[in-house]
Structure 1
Amino acid sequence: MKRIHVTSTGRVWGSAIMLVGSFFAWSAPDISYARKELLTQEEKDRQIRTELIHLETLALTSHGPIQAAGLTQAAARRLEQLGYRTVVDPAQPHDVTVKVKCEELKTWEGTERSGGDADMVDAAARLWKGPACQILYRFGARWAEWRHEVRTDFATPQEAARKAGQADAGAYAIAQLIERLQTDPFPFLLAAEWGQSARLVATLDAAGTTAPQKQIVVGLLGAMQAVDAIPRLTAALTDPDPGLTQAAATALGTIGHEESIPPLLHLFNSGTPEQHRAAALGLGRLAPLHPNSDIVPTFLSALPNEPVPMQTILVRALGKTTDRRVLEPLRALHRSVLKQVRSDSTPELKELLTALGIALDGFDGVHTEE
């Protein structure tokens, strides 16, 4: 096992730093790659090769800094799970510096150019004033435009500590943040940020990776468009966990490579109802990208016999193609649904009717002639 050297620092960091949040909404995780265009090729290569991390931590309460050894150990242990190593001295060789700053009451640092809850899950929230950890990193002297925020489920440390029978609200808040760090996906987010898809793939088979964490990792691989992950994602299509199956199918669709089509078609035709639905969602993303594939004929063949919720999924996918073979089947289904729908019809049937209208409108609004 690789040795982990950890450190904590009581130094108060200098001037407030304006940073931009970059990650994704995991439901499925969203990564902003636009800013990577600002990096030089050398910096991009350094990101992919990142392995040795200088880890800095700071724990602040309303009475000032406190011992951060527990915080440092928790962060280092999580990074070790992905094969990273950490060093104690910034003068020692390292690829990147990761800072973890945890506060009893979050310090408001002003508005940002972008980012926040609208951009990514668990990003820095301007309105959150409770306990929070800010995780950020830099290459050399250059700060990356990335930030991840970890928050407790309570906003008032004094009240939460009192309910828990703890006298020191600051120590209690920091302890709860450390507990959150032990399961938070920040190591996965950093690996995705640095383009390390192989490291993420390895975590799917690592002992201790929980089912929710696997779903996050799979979502990240999709968002990264990691073609090298297609074989492992294909294997996940038959995982006993239906949540992982759906995440894998969606990720394969997001990657958009034609290599993903055969396994998804097989799952669509022979899988369980949950796998059938997951495959439809993945194939729906691939259909517009690969017009000469078997996706459209397969969907058209299945459409009449599917239950209403599945018909809605297929209609939405077919409506995003430019294949005019879908017109007559969609028109026929539209006429059938129009005869069935009433003001008291089920929400599912009304949703199907809406999906059909939108799909047919994509072909010059032809359904309005009926």
Structure 2
Amino acid sequence: MNWNLARRAEKMNPSVIREILKVTERPGIISFAGGLPSPKTFPVAEFAEACARVLKDDGPGALQYAASEGYGPLREMVAAQLPWSVDPQQVLITTGSQQGLDLVAKVLIDEGSRVLVETPTYLGALQAFMPMEPKVVGVDSDDEGIVVDDLPRKAGSGADKARFLYLLPNFQNPTGRTMTEARRAALSARAAELGVPIAEDNPYGDLWFDAPPAAPLTARNPDGCVYLGSFSKVLAPGLRLGFIVAPKALHPKLLQAKQAADLHSPGFNQRMVAEVMKDGFLDRHVPTIRALYKSQRDAMLAALSREMKGLDVQWNTPAGGMFLWARLPEGMDAVQLLPHAVERNVAFVPGAAFYAQDGDARTLRLSFVTASVDEINTGVAALAAAIREQLARQTPQRLAA
């Protein structure tokens, strides 16, 4: 049988990260590659108790089909925790925040539509957007996020005006950077002036180390933004639950796209999350995640400072989240380095895949949250050895050139 694929299927590509994760399943590999929360943070006992209570008190309801919008009490909890006035009717529970990106893409993108993203940006968002065949344009970015003065140059006009600007202002994936208060205020004002909506993705915002980030951009212009959140990073990713907070004018179409995709997210999981959260559990639980991740970040920073001496490797210091962004010496390519690192039993994600255009081959993403301090020390030392080996391998080539 000769299957004729839809044109959108040709736009679908495998996740670079998921492909690398297959390599990390080998015994002995220390992985800085996956964006996985630490399983040490999963509240297994609390979910065991919640599971029993949900089945005892409302088993038939939990196991039945449910409303596409989501479980009412959970939607109310989401609305109540946000730092601006939100009607629970604006909340749509999704099957992970990744589905939220997919719904936004289906509702807002036509073939050829201009979509703006940070430089670099979240690879999963690019995967969600590309089947809709947009024209994805990277906006210049620095250590504080979007460069506001570049937005008018990239926003387009008329039929080619950007449908939305997608960004992660808090502890961004992949760079770990955080947008300052001043940058948020300026960007929000300029986007509103240009009439460019913002899709604000905030899966990591609760994972700050020393001080919480500034208020969401959505809080400044709720009618001009759609806001995406997740329970994966503060509870457990296996639940596959996230949420969208949308302006009332946009919510019905997102709901219709959700109905077509999966009818509803698992009602049983939603009830369990609501049961776990109802007594302020997150206020007690999330600080333990922050403390663990901060200690692991500090261990990686110390190891990098120790092991990368003399190698001209650069890296940042994230103020929260799960990722650190590094840049290799001039002339190196992270994709070429990866197999040599894997030979030394350490893995990372090359950074070029996170760019909409013209990826920086020297960049790489390091996740510090699933490795122990000992593994971080061993893994960073192995990565440094691989870099030295690659530099030595390239030196004769440079001399010959």
Q: Normalising by structure 2, what TM-score?
A: 0.25
Give the number of the structure whose alpha-carbon radius of gyration is greater: 1
Q: Which has the higher contact order (CA 8 A, sep 6+)?
A: 2
